[in-house]
Structure 1
Amino acid sequence: MEKCIRVYFEMGLDNMEILALLAKNHHCIVSYRHSKQILKKLRLFRRKHYTPREDVVAIIKDNIKGSGRLHGYRWMFMKCRQACLTIQKEYVRIFMQIINPEGVEMRQKGRSHRREYCSKGPNFIWHLDSYDKLKPFGICIHGCIDGFSRLIIWLEAGQTCSDPRVFQGILSTIFFRSEDLWW
């Protein structure tokens, strides 16, 4: 049981999640208080024995090279936790400020870069979406734009956004009169 508790603790699970997994997977019922005593006996503490800062900085630098440059310190803190690192959120915020000051400043000003993609031409990719804000009033708006020209292909109002047959019906009517759309 202690081995399982150690493994679950190192995965970053909290005490209630550990107790639930012990009960479900190992048929071992332990009280919350007893689990805290076991963790203390095993010298497993959440706010002690932090990961060396060099390891945290290496993980942050590695994540910033990819899509992590667009995300903030909360997302980076979760990435550190998923890598089984024990670190305070405040240190992650400070490291992010030191390692990537331009990204932090852009996020503070609300000027994040949008992802870019290339479309081969008109009608190569269409973007479908629905607008649910008016759903309490019985109105759902469905729309489609061309990814290349950003031209609105269609914009229709309906009664539901959750029924896939609605999009199917819209698409079938569009493709039946598609010779009007191919420019």
Structure 2
Amino acid sequence: MARMLGCSSSYLHKKMKSIQISARKRFTPISDANLEEHVRRLHNQFPRSGSEMMRAYLHAEGIVVQRRRVRETLNRIDPAAAAQRWSQTVARRMYHVPFPNSLWHIDGHMRLIRWGFVTHAGIDGNTRLITYINCSTNNKALTVLSYLFGPPVGTGYPPESDRTTEGRILLWLF
């Protein structure tokens, strides 16, 4: 909308706030009975759909409601199906690194690139110790490499890394 008006988004938000207009009123005002009617109809068509899929179906019909309301409505309509969905949760893998410094997780954070800053960090997979965290002005692989070969004294350097973009150049080097 700011682009259409030819101004910045921050200016638009400030002006909207000054005249007390909120862009956050995005939920459809719908009664619980009416919502239950819509969810019942959609649940009959798509009986194995969970709360997020049901929210998407409602959104496609122009009804935007809170996740909590959809979950509560699905539990009221068909508690057995809700219990079945909860019993089939995804089992997460166990995370195990055998010993310290056997695996470092490295990553770059580009959130401040607008101001010319890139942060890079490495964390030991076993101890969760921050092995390095640095700020630079670029996102080049050589910059990340310089951080890896300049860790604090006594920590050594990792024989392995996870399979990120930064990790690929390390695998090539080792």
Q: Same fold (TM over 0.5)?
A: no
Q: TM-score, length-normalised on structure 2?
A: 0.40
Higher fraction of helix: 1
Q: TM-score, length-normalised on structure 1?
A: 0.38
